[in-house]
Chain A
């Protein structure tokens, strides 16, 4: 018996401290403790502090004064706030739908055999990995009032002369933002849905074909149901980060013209950083939480696949 025990173990006294740290519970918490403390300090605490700020009249660099729900009441009576809410919903809704439909179409297209597939897939993801601010600068130049290449194209092909002011017209500005958001986010949908498509067994399609299902029927009755869990998760991510988008709007329009493209995040930024009203700003940022939670709950109810 003792001959089979390695030598280094034979002299090791099993101290009670060592035995304590070897317990699963203790070992786990020793590892988990530091990162959890870090997240509590820099996510949990700021979150609660944000709620506390939203209940104060708190100009930057001054002491705060507790005002209860006054900031939220002021938001409620602020027409710009409601404009911002509508903008955020419009932006999120259209960008998400376009990314979902376009991403699915692209994933189905990519799910065929063709040459250079890997290279094309790698290039396709570029909009998603290149820093957003930098690619948005390129879009800003493409939409420039004086030198827009899109307007040059419209003029050249005889469609419109002069072309529209993309970022100067409220509706076109919102549309431009949605298009740039789709440009950036669509690859994420496509690549993830493509990965989902590739997990679907070809046998299922064969069986459906033998049963006489058309290509459309195979899509509706085989592809979509099996893809639903992936679509759900991708859409949830996308909705959250589109709803809370900041960068695109900050770079392209700064919320203009006349607040037509302000979202919760950029409006909160303007109030808190531009206007120095930290309390008011925090209340606008927090206002995004209930609708976001509602959207996520609604999506869970309607889209979540039945667990088998």
Chain B
């Protein structure tokens, strides 16, 4: 876009004021989370003092969270489940995307339609029958139940994203490998897939954050404290009836968010590429 003249007033009006207002809206809940988590209860529940700042910061809520609850177990569960389901989804996603992007075969149009449709099926449509199925398979309260079901949300997405990425890779190298006598499988593994690492990172990082975010299946399938994930553990065990342990809740919210945010910050560009891949044709 051409640079428009008009000095700093126009610039402030068109850029910094709206951007600043929006950033305030975006970031305030995180600030509030952080501030609340280090307030002693005497300040937390005192209506007379100015709440925006902390007078006597304390790590008590963090210590309580780590020693009195199973927070570390939940964190470990969340990571394990997210990692395994992301891995499964990348493998299955690749198995779907490679033929769809590169080959002509009977039923390819139907398959790609089915994948798009599966991607758009909202979870609440499936959770009641799935709950019954998981029960019948005696998988309730096992991490297997969520490791099996999360990929149903992630595989269609990974397949879709990878399909777009695969199509952007030039086909000549594979042709050359085929002419040299490589089998289709060799071509795929030794020539093609190594070229697609950025696509895998995009899909992987996206799938990983989605699994960390999942709540409904975890809430239904995991009812014992030692198999819970962070979101379910926080909601189910830091809220006892009408009593909210606000300090610990905020500490849990912050600690649960930090790993996702850190991983995300390393791969922002890949994440954005994945986010916009479906909508914007490059």
Binding site for B on A (CB under 8 A): 5-6, 8-9, 18, 21-22, 24-25, 27-29, 31-32, 34-36, 38-39, 42-43, 45-47, 49-50, 53, 105-106, 109-114, 118, 120-127, 129-135, 137-139, 141-142, 144, 146-147, 149, 152, 183, 187-188, 191-192, 195-196, 199, 202, 205-206, 209, 229-230, 233-234, 237, 240-241, 243-244, 246-247, 250-251, 264-265, 268-269, 272-273, 278, 281-282, 285-286, 288-289, 292
Residues of A within 8 A of B47 (CB): 146-147, 152
In the complex the two chains form, is B108's CB within 8 Å of A192's CB? no
In the complex the two chains form, is B26's CB within 8 Å of A124's CB? yes
23 pairs, CB–CB < 8 Å, chain A vs chain B: A24-B105, A35-B159, A42-B149, A45-B133, A47-B125, A53-B132, A109-B14, A120-B23, A122-B268, A129-B264, A129-B271, A131-B212, A131-B260, A135-B253, A137-B249, A137-B250, A138-B29, A149-B51, A183-B26, A209-B2, A243-B122, A265-B216, A268-B124
**CA separation between A46 and B121, bound complex, in Å?**
12
- Chain B nearest CB from A80 CB (Å) reads 17
Q: Which of B58-66, B193-201, B273-281 contacts A (4 or more CB under 8 A)?
A: B273-281
Contact with A along B94-130 (1 / 0, CB 8 A): 0110111001111110010011001011111111111
- Chain B nearest CB from A38 CB (Å) reads 6
Residues of B within 8 A of A149 (CB): 32, 51-52
Contact with A along B139-158 (1 / 0, CB 8 A): 00000000011011001100
Residues of B within 8 A of A111 (CB): 1
Residues of B221-270 contacting chain A, CB below 8 A: 230-232, 234-235, 244, 246, 249-250, 252-254, 256-257, 260-261, 264-265, 268
8 tightest A-B contacts by CB? A244-B122, A265-B124, A28-B99, A133-B231, A35-B92, A28-B105, A50-B129, A195-B276
- CB closest residue in chain B, given A215: B4
In the complex the two chains form, is B272's CB within 8 Å of A125's CB? yes
- Chain B nearest CB from A14 CB (Å) reads 10
Residues of A within 8 A of B249 (CB): 137, 141
In the complex the two chains form, is B246's CB within 8 Å of A141's CB? yes
- CB closest residue in chain B, given A189: B279
In the complex the two chains form, is B231's CB within 8 Å of A134's CB? yes
- CB closest residue in chain B, given A10: B181
Given contacts A47-B126, A139-B29, contact A35 B3 (CB under 8 A): no
Given contacts A188-B275, A282-B128, contact A118 B1 (CB under 8 A): no
- CB closest residue in chain A, given B206: A129
Q: Give the interface size bracket for B toward A.
A: 35 or more
**CA separation between A78 and B217, bound complex, in Å?**
27
- Chain A nearest CB from B28 CB (Å) reads 8
- CB closest residue in chain A, given B149: A42
In the complex the two chains form, is B268's CB within 8 Å of A118's CB? yes
Given contacts A109-B15, A133-B235, A205-B1, contact A196 B95 (CB under 8 A): no
**CA separation between A195 and B99, bound complex, in Å?**
28
- CB closest residue in chain A, given B263: A129
**CA separation between A5 and B271, bound complex, in Å?**
44
In the complex the two chains form, is B128's CB within 8 Å of A50's CB? yes
Given contacts A31-B95, A273-B131, contact A195 B272 (CB under 8 A): yes
Q: Which of A6, A22, A45, A120 contacts B184 (CB 8 A)?
A: A22
Residues of B159-217 contacting chain A, CB below 8 A: 159, 180-181, 183-185, 209, 212-213, 215-216
In the complex the two chains form, is B96's CB within 8 Å of A142's CB? no
In the complex the two chains form, is B151's CB within 8 Å of A38's CB? yes
In the complex the two chains form, is B275's CB within 8 Å of A132's CB? no
In the complex the two chains form, is B23's CB within 8 Å of A124's CB? yes
Residues of B within 8 A of A49 (CB): 129, 132-133
In the complex the two chains form, is A27's CB within 8 Å of B99's CB? yes
Residues of A within 8 A of B98 (CB): 31
In the complex the two chains form, is A147's CB within 8 Å of B45's CB? yes
In the complex the two chains form, is B15's CB within 8 Å of A47's CB? no
Residues of B within 8 A of A137 (CB): 33, 234-235, 249-250, 252-253
**CA separation between A278 and B130, bound complex, in Å?**
11
- CB closest residue in chain B, given A133: B231
**CA separation between A43 and B123, bound complex, in Å?**
10
The verdict on B25 contacting chain A, using a C-beta distance below 8 Å, is: yes
- Chain A nearest CB from B129 CB (Å) reads 4
In the complex the two chains form, is B118's CB within 8 Å of A39's CB? yes
Q: Which of A25, A272, A292 contacts B106 (CB 8 A)?
A: A25
